[in-house]
């Protein structure tokens, strides 16, 4: 360079930095952020305004770098940084490189997820059926009736009417010639025991009422519920006010999916169970109520919400923990045992049974995995996992895969027979 001549600038470095800020401006587009980060694809107005400001800032810096490329050398600060602190520069470049690779990785999965469209169209009508509840997370609307339809690719598959009593329990019709009930039976569980996709007189609770006419059956099961809901319901101080006849039998209909709901897996928390009851072990009292997942473990909940938005996780439908382990099974059985003890306290009866629902195509593990732990805890159970009706045509609602009326009837028939035998044995022993 001749003496007195203006310094030569690295135009390419300046243009490269300008291109980088253009990419940052594109990446901060509200529409792109909404599709990649927001669970419902929507952003609130304040977030949109902030993103627009950030986007304009990046694009403004990019425009300034392009226009001033002959007066500004973007490589000069890097050369100075390299001379003064080469290790920190190398670490920064490495982190930026990892961030870029991660962004490219996520973008590829985002493009694939957006492009893929499931050819099967499942549609449920928007019938109001439940409401938020600070104690259970959500619960059925009391004194309410609604009809929900289910269609597949435009074809109506199912139309079901749900009726709830004043306490939010699905009404269980009794046989018209049934005698006045001496006792009641409590049914707990999820949508299987609740009776999704079957009418009120076709549920397992209704079939039990027919098989055991001397009992009035109260259906406390509901869609999406886990094991902890049974314990939470039994712990309510006002529960005894909800019985027309004192309870002497409780049935908990178990499926393997309850294990993930009990401890709150990532999919459960981020989709429908963030406000589910949460119980923590206590050295003195066994399990104690600790609010909800949202209030008791906010850090884990926040992390799960962040991870659930990752395109890689969405693409492969990854849940955390990845597999059900021994500790999760033991925790679920501990909840069952606490519910059994609570039922005994309020009823004076030991007739608490875990009913293992028949095998289902979506079972992650076999229900039999909890049997050794139930036996060690002295918890009675009825194992219907391998009954023939579980594998018979028509046992499940098409496409939806909830149990059909015929499977409800098969389970209830066996349970009623087993309960009658148990009652007869107890009566004989007492005499």
Q: How does DSSP assign 177-190, residue by residue?
A: TPPPPSEEEEEE-S
What is the rounded average pLDDT of the residues 42-57? 80
Q: By percentage, how much of the chain surpasses pLDDT 70?
A: 87
Q: Is the pLDDT of residue 84 over 90?
A: no
CB 207 within 8 A of CB 413: yes
Q: What confidence tens digit (pLDDT) does each residue in 387-406 have?
A: 999 889 999 999 999 999 99
pLDDT band at 407 (very low <50, low <70, confident <90, very high): very high
Residues whose CB is less than 8 angstroms from the CB of residue 307 and which lie 6 or more positions away in sequence, other chains included? 266, 313, 320
3-state DSSP helix/strand/coil percent for the chain, to nearest 5?
50, 15, 35
Beta bridge partners of 122: 152
Query: What pTM value is reported for the model?
Result: 0.80
Here the contacts of 16-21 (C-beta below 8 Å, separation 24 or greater) are 16/74, 17/65, 17/74, 18/61, 18/62, 18/63, 18/65, 18/66, 18/69, 19/62, 20/62, 21/58, 21/59, 21/61, 21/62, 21/65
CB 233 within 8 A of CB 221: no
Q: What are phi and psi of 170, to 5 degrees?
A: -65, 130
Q: What confidence tens digit (pLDDT) does each residue in 6-48 have?
A: 555 556 777 777 788 888 888 778 877 776 666 556 677 777 8
**Displacement of CA 356 from its chain's centroid (Å):** 21
CB 33 within 8 A of CB 41: no
């Amino acid at each position: 360079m001749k003496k007195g001549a203006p310094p030569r600038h690295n135009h390419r470095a300046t243009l490269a930095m300008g291109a980088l800020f253009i990419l940052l401006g594109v990446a901060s587009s509200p529409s792109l952020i909404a599709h990649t980060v927001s669970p419902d694809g929507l952003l609130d107005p304040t977030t949109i305004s902030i993103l627009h400001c950030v986007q304009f800032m990046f694009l403004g810096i990019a425009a300034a770098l392009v226009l001033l490329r002959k007066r500004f050398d973007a490589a000069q600060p890097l050369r100075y940084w390299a001379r003064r602190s080469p290790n920190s520069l190398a670490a920064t470049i490495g982190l930026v490189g990892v961030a870029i690779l991660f962004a490219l990785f996520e973008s590829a999965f985002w493009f694939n997820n957006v492009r893929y469209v499931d050819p099967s169209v499942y549609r449920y009508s928007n019938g109001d059926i439940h409401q938020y509840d600070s104690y259970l997370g959500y619960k059925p609307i009391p004194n309410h009736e609604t009809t929900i339809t289910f269609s597949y690719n435009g074809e109506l598959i199912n139309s079901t009417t749900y009726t709830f009593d004043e306490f939010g329990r699905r009404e269980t019709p009794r046989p018209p010639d049934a005698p006045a009930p001496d006792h009641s039976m409590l049914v707990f569980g999820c949508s299987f025991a609740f009776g999704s996709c079957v009418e009120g007189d076709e549920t397992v609770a209704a079939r039990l009422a027919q098989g055991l006419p001397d009992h009035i059956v109260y259906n406390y099961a509901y869609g999406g519920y886990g094991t902890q809901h049974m314990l939470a319901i039994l712990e309510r101080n006002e529960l005894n006010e909800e019985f027309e006849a004192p309870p002497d039998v409780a049935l908990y209909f178990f499926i393997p999916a309850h294990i993930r709901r009990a401890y709150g897996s990532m999919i459960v928390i981020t989709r429908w169970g963030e406000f589910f009851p949460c119980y923590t072990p206590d050295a003195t009292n066994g399990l104690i109520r600790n609010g909800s997942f949202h209030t008791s473990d906010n850090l884990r909940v926040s992390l799960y919400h962040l991870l659930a938005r990752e395109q890689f996780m969405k693409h492969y439908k990854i849940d955390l923990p990845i597999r059900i382990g021994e500790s999760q099974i033991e925790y679920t059985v501990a909840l069952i045992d606490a519910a059994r003890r609570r039922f005994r306290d309020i009823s004076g009866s030991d007739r608490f049974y875990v009913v293992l629902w028949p095998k289902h195509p979506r079972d992650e593990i076999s229900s039999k995995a909890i049997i050794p732990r139930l036996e060690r805890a002295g918890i009675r159970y009825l194992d219907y996992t391998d009954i023939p009706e579980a594998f018979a045509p028509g046992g499940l609602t098409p496409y939806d895969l909830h149990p059909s009326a015929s499977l409800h009837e098969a389970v209830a028939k066996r349970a009623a027979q087993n309960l009658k035998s148990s009652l007869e044995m107890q009566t004989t022993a007492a005499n």
